[in-house]
């Protein structure tokens, strides 16, 4: 699926682009099924909430060489529907920098502070440039009460703000200070809620200001994020390189699948 000129313009203007209902309900069901099986394992790629046993993140689902690897997520990151729009924005082959599902348990699932992703990737991994794009796949209905993401449209144009380390949740995050956020909202406008149905894809820029609140609803929230990095965009030397599943240093490009379908392990096994 090639992006149109007007879709590319929307991404450049706002720092994000919504592609509604790109994946079907059946495909999303495959992804949820594989997530449920994977999240049950004990591994550092499965990260819990600070205040209890609920799962907050699962890394590495697309990478079948790792313990959380899954057929369904590998087919997702290699599908033309997800990969081609990223290549259209990056203008060159790309690899997967990392992938993760972020979950928020009903009622208690914790917030994500306002941040820019590149604040994390420059601070932790010395990534050279924001020549990357995140493709988010909604795995259930994203609602405001359920702790959906919020974006500040156009805020990617403000460049990288000084990242500030915040360890209030179970995930160490380089965030944007309160004063910088107030200034950004005065300049770019109020946050918009990123709501939508399962199978919807939202692509966003590494400089876009975003965050999300607590899940106040009675439903779990699940969102898959695949970060594509242009192959020419290298990670620099750092004192303590993060594991490959958080910040891939592989330079080989991800190959697009011949067939644009999401298949689960059970389909492959019975084939
Ligand atoms: C993130 O921005 O990295 C995660 C936000 C969320 O899943 O709500
Ligand atoms: Mn983020």
pLDDT in tens, 64-81: 999 999 999 999 999 999
Q: Is the confidence at residue 261, as pLDDT, over 60?
A: yes
- Atom 2 of ligand 1, residue of closest alpha carbon: 211
109 sits in the region (left: phi over 0; alpha: psi -120 to 50; else beta) called beta
| Confidence at residue 266, expressed as pLDDT on a 0 to 100 scale | 64
| 94-104 sheet: strands from edge to edge | 16-19, 201-204, 132-138, 221-230, 94-104, 55-59, 46-48
Count of Cβ atoms closer than 10 Å to residue 125 Cβ: 20
Q: Is the CB of 212 under 6 A from ligand 1?
A: yes
Taking the mean position of all CA atoms in its chain, how far away is CA 86?
13
Mean pLDDT of 35-57: 94
| Confidence at residue 248, expressed as pLDDT on a 0 to 100 scale | 98
The per-residue pLDDT for range 196-246, each reduced to its tens digit, is 999 999 999 999 999 999 999 999 999 999 999 999 999 999 999 999 999
Cα(13) to centroid(ligand 2), Å: 19
> Pick from 95, 112, 116: which is nearest to 103 by CA?
112
Per the prediction, the chain carries an average pLDDT of 96
**Secondary element (H or E) of residue 100:** strand 94-104
Q: Is the confidence at residue 39, as pLDDT, over 90?
A: no
List, as ranges, residues with CB under 5 A of the ion ligand 2: 117
Mean pLDDT of 115-140: 98
Q: Are the C-beta atoms of residues 78 and 261 closer than 8 Å to each other?
A: no
Cα(268) to centroid(ligand 1), Å: 31
Ligand 1 pocket mutation, candidates 101, 109, 132, 210, criterion most atoms within 8 A of CB: 210
Cα(211) to centroid(ligand 1), Å: 6
């Amino acid at each position: 699926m090639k992006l149109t000129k007007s879709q590319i313009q929307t991404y450049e203007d706002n720092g994000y682009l919504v592609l509604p209902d790109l994946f079907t309900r059946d495909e999303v069901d495959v992804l949820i099924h594989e997530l449920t099986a994977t999240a049950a394992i004990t591994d550092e790629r499965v990260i819990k909430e600070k205040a209890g046993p609920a799962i907050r993140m699962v890394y590495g689902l697309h990478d079948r060489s790792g313990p959380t690897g899954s057929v369904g997520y590998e087919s997702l990151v290699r599908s033309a529907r997800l990969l081609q729009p990223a290549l259209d924005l990056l203008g060159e082959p790309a690899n997967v920098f990392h992938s993760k599902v972020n979950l928020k348990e009903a009622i208690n699932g914790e917030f994500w502070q306002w941040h820019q992703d590149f604040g994390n990737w420059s601070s932790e991994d010395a990534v050279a440039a924001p020549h990357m794009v995140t493709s988010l796949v909604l795995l259930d209905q994203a609602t405001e009460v359920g702790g959906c993401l919020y974006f500040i449209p156009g805020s990617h144009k403000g460049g990288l703000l000084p990242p500030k380390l915040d360890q209030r949740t179970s995930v160490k995050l380089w965030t944007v200070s309160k004063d910088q956020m107030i200034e950004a909202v005065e300049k770019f406008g109020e946050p918009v809620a990123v709501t939508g149905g399962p199978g919807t894809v939202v692509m966003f820029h590494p400089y876009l200001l975003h965050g999300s609140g607590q899940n106040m609803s009675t439903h779990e929230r699940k969102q898959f994020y695949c970060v594509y990095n242009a192959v020419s965009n290298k990670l620099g030397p750092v004192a303590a390189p993060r594991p490959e599943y958080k910040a891939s240093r592989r330079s080989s490009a991800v190959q697009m699948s011949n067939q644009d379908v999401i298949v689960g392990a059970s389909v492959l096994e019975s084939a």
